[in-house]
Amino acid sequence: MLAQVAQPPTLLELSRQVGLNDRKLKQGFRQVFGTTVFGYLRNYRMQQAQQLLLSSNSTIAGVAQAVGYRNPEAFSVAFRRAFAISPKAYQLERR
């Protein structure tokens, strides 16, 4: 799933890949990781976004695309929700 972060598989595709039905996958995933499958993916994307925002001259749109968001505005909302700071402010504050 993390290897395909820009275009992750659906829950059904993922359950087929690991040989479980989707209900068992969701239950087991929550037991092991303490979050949902897509909650885990969202957290991973946001961590990757933090790192990318600190590198060289990356743009918000470029980071958004790199972590799987087609819309930079949707990425900005998700980033702000996760870290209580906009991606641009984070980038400027940390450089």
Q: What is the CATH number of domain 9-94?
A: 1.10.10.60
The mean pLDDT value for 86-94 works out to: 92
At 49 the pLDDT is 95
pTM of the model: 0.80
Whole-Å CA distances, 14 to 21, 28, 44, 68, 92? 9, 13, 17, 17, 37
Q: pLDDT tens digits for 15-74?
A: 998 898 989 999 998 999 999 988 998 999 999 999 999 886 789 999 999 998 999 999
